[in-house]
Amino acid sequence: MSGAPLSLIEFQKRFASEQHCAAYLFAARWPDGFACPACGHGKAWPHRGKRFVFQCAQCGRQTSVTAGTVMHGSKLPLTLWFLAAYLVASHSNGLSALQLQSQLGLGSYKTAWLLLAKLRRAMVTPGRSLLDGVVEVDETTIAFRGKDEPPDGGQGRSHRGKILIACAAQTKERALCRIRLHRIADFGKASLHGFIEKTVSPAARVISDGWSGYGNLKAQTHDAKVIGSMPAHIVLPWVHRVFSNLKTWALGVYHGLRKKHVQAYLDEFVFRFNRRKNRAAGFATLLKNAVRIPASTYNMLIEPEPTG
């Protein structure tokens, strides 16, 4: 499987037909050659009556290149899926479902929303590595909006009308490398320790602002820098830069985040931020993840996501 297209013209040449897209998915799904999902056998032949379906030479199991993937059961052509993935991955700020509907000429907003929601799920790489080295951690709040309402929220440390978010930012040689963002239930020790355990390597050195919720970490070395009257962005410059960019992005692209699907938006921001220096690679990563994560239905995607 060759590298990602570097321009829209190159993309259009490489993925001009369903056959080109199916071949790319085959290579992404089975980089070491076909492996039957039922018996593991490594030999199969194309089914004569079904497009992009392969029949196992040993057990006879028929498997489509999209079966069990993000594209499972979709009636949309592969060329449209690929164009959507390219637009979503290569756009510097991302696209809303309404913008994607317009770009792809889709007749239904629901179709555009579902397509975008499934691609957002593919923005989280299965088994991705934990942040290591020196990692800044902090928390913030973002006002959320209702269906037809502008962003709103309580004042100061009030949680009313706000989404609570934790951030971990890996740094190296005074430069920001990778980040993680997660919605949390509160600023207590259980929530913050749980976030760190899921995102930061036990061997890392964690730098915080001295908030009690970060105290007594079980694994990581903890460097608590008590801020006092000093501005927080002086002590934790990188994580606060992330928060600033996140809030600008949320208002600029989506005019405020909606509480129900906020983790999906955070995952999208992390995906773009971590690939800010190589946006072309995002397309390849998105399709590679799309064939590795389980399929999801519309009803699964509209369910509220748990906080934690």
Q: What residues are paired with 193 via a beta bridge?
A: none
Q: Is residue 215 part of a domain?
A: yes
The per-residue pLDDT for 267 is 95
CA dist 123 and 169 (Å) reads 18
Global pTM?
0.85
Percentages helix, strand, coil for the chain (3-state, rounded to 5) are: 40, 15, 45
Q: Has residue 222 been placed in a domain? A: yes
Domain harbouring 246, CATH code: 3.30.420
Q: What is the pLDDT of residue 2?
A: 59
Separate counts of helices (H) and strands (E) for the chain: 11, 8
On whether the CB atoms of residues 189 and 215 are closer than 8 A, the answer is yes
Consecutive H or E run containing 25: helix 18-29
Q: What is the pLDDT of residue 55?
A: 95
pLDDT of residue 259: 78
Residue 144 has phi, psi (to 5 degrees) of -105, 170
Block means of pLDDT (10 residues each) for the chain, 308 residues, are: 79 94 94 93 91 94 92 92 94 87 94 93 93 94 67 51 91 91 94 95 92 89 71 81 91 74 92 88 91 81 61
CA angle, residues 35, 37, 42, in degrees to nearest 5: 20
Range of the domain at 165: 134-257
Residue 52 domain flag:
no
Can you tell me the distance from the alpha carbon of 261 to that of 229, in angstroms, rounded to the nearest whole number?
35
- The one-letter amino acid code at 123 reads M
Assess if residue 218 is contained within a domain: yes
Q: Classify residue 75: in a domain, yes or no.
A: no
pLDDT for residue 157: 46
User: How many CB atoms within 10 Å of residue 178?
Assistant: 21
Residue 16 pairs in a beta bridge with none
- Please report the pLDDT score of residue 20 as a whole number: 95
- The pLDDT assigned to 147 comes to 59
Contact 259, 244 (CB under 8 A): no
For residue 238, being part of any structural domain is answered with: yes
128 within a domain of the structure (yes/no): no
Q: What is the pLDDT of residue 229?
A: 52
Task: Give which of 70, 58, 8, 34 is closest to 289, Cα–Cα.
Answer: 70
Give the count of domains, the chain: 1
Structural contact between residues 18 and 77, judged by C-beta atoms closer than 8 angstroms? yes
| Radius of gyration of the chain from its Cα atoms, rounded to whole angstroms | 22
The reply to whether 213 falls in a domain is yes
- Say if CB 263 and CB 181 are below 8 A apart: no
Alpha-carbon span 102 to 138, nearest angstrom: 38
